[in-house]
Amino acid sequence: MNIVPLLIMDFLISFIGNALPFFGEAYTVYASLTLLSIRPPIQYTVLVIIITALGASISKNVSYALGYALKKTLRKTSAVKLIMLLADKSPLWILLIILAALPGLPLDDYLYIGTGAASINPLMLNTYVFIGKLIKSSVEIPIEIILFSSLYKLLKPGIGLPIFQITMAVIFTH
How far apart are alpha carbons 143 and 128 in whole angstroms? 23
Q: How many domains does the chain have?
A: 1
pLDDT band with cut points at 50, 70 and 90 for residue 153: confident
Estimate the crossing angle of helix 42-59 against helix 61-69, to 10 degrees: 10
Grouping H, G, I as helix, E, B as strand and the rest as coil, residue 132 is helix
pLDDT in tens, 7-17: 999 999 999 98
Report the chain's C-alpha Rg in angstroms: 18
- pTM metric for this prediction: 0.89
Domain residue limits at 121 = 4-171
pLDDT of residue 131: 97
**34-43, 57-66, 115-124, 140-149: range with lowest mean pLDDT:** 34-43
Residue 174 has pLDDT above 70, yes or no: no
pLDDT in tens, 90-145: 888 999 999 999 887 777 888 999 999 999 999 999 999 999 999 999 999 999 99
